[in-house]
Chains A and B, each alone.
Chain A
Amino acid sequence: LASIFSGMDPATTSKSNHCLDAAKACNLNDNCKRLRSGYISTCSRELSATEPCSRRKCHKALRQFFDRVPGEFTFRLLFCSCKNAACAERRRQTIVPSCSYEDKEKPNCLDLRGACRADHLCRSRLADFHANCQATFQSLTSCPGDNFQACLGSYAGLIGFDITPNYVDASTTSITISPWCSCKGSGNMEEECEKFLRDFTENPCLRNAIQAFGNGTDVNLSPKN
């Protein structure tokens, strides 16, 4: 009965998109629903007029979500493919960026990297990301060992840490990912900073991995995680 009801509603089918489908799949799974609701309520709970949320608690809830929910749900939410802005905005909103990502000021990327390296878990997650998403010319996909899953997994592993990456806008044509930082004020480390930032913003391996997942052209869609 339930499937007949939802399947026949013209309003939902005409507005459907892959990101909405991913949210549905999560809502219909008790574990995913509970942990998604856990981070959403934590990340959107206003503390006071000056403090919109507790970033520390929000990050912790996000880490729990990505650690405890299988990739078949989390990857669908993070890397859904979009044909319109509403879908892309929903994708950008996945991690509740107003709390987990954006800040009043943009710190220098190398300072952010330093903060991450001071935390042993963040340090190892960042090392995983660099190893698994390192763009290479030695493979067709630009990814080490043509392993998209490993790259996507290490990307998701950064969420909820100082270096939390996200989509920078709701563009449907070009995907740009970045942590919340810039290379202003890098001094003589400018080149080092730009190189670090480009691993997110201009990384063909990461981009191909996300696009392949969204198009369903990636063969191993269900990671063990």
Chain B
Amino acid sequence: SRRKRARARHKPCELRELEVSVSELGLGYESDETVLFRYCSGTCEAAVRSYDLSLKSMRSRRKIRKEQIRVAYDDDVSFLDAYNRYYTVNELSAKECGCV
């Protein structure tokens, strides 16, 4: 299963989704409404540029800790909370993922 984990870790960068309750988002809202949380995950091996090689080198020299994946954000999402107030949250989910 170690091999399986290694393979999972090497999945290319892609959009994934999870159905979660608004309360689980950790934004301080209390609501049982379910929203679709889309996020970017995976590796960026397929898009290696000079930038990435240098980034890797910096990391190995412990000058940088983690690499970033940029995303385009999804449309706003609105919900009614446990106290019957409406809220709208923007830039909650990813819409597009890319290795940049």
Contacts and interface: CB of A to CB of B under 8 A. Distances in A.
Interface of A: 1-3, 5-6, 9, 11-12, 15-16, 20, 23-24, 27-28, 30, 33-34, 36-37, 40-41, 43-44, 89-90, 93, 96
B34 A28 contact: yes
A6 B32 CA distance: 11
27 contacts: A1-B18, A2-B18, A2-B19, A5-B18, A5-B20, A6-B19, A6-B34, A11-B23, A12-B32, A16-B32, A20-B33, A23-B79, A23-B80, A24-B19, A24-B34, A27-B33, A27-B36, A28-B19, A28-B34, A30-B75, A33-B77, A34-B75, A37-B75, A43-B86, A44-B87, A90-B80, A90-B84
Contact of B20 (A6, A43, A44, A96): A6
Interface of B: 17-21, 23, 32-36, 75-80, 84, 86-88
Nearest to A19: B80
B11 to A, nearest CB: 13
Contacts, number: 69
A89 B85 CA distance: 11
Nearest to B76: A37
B32 A20 contact: yes
Contact of A27 (B23, B35, B84, B87): B35
A41 B76 CA distance: 9
A22 to B, nearest CB: 10
Nearest to B88: A41
B88 A40 contact: yes
Contact of B84 (A9, A33, A40, A93): A93
B29 to A, nearest CB: 14
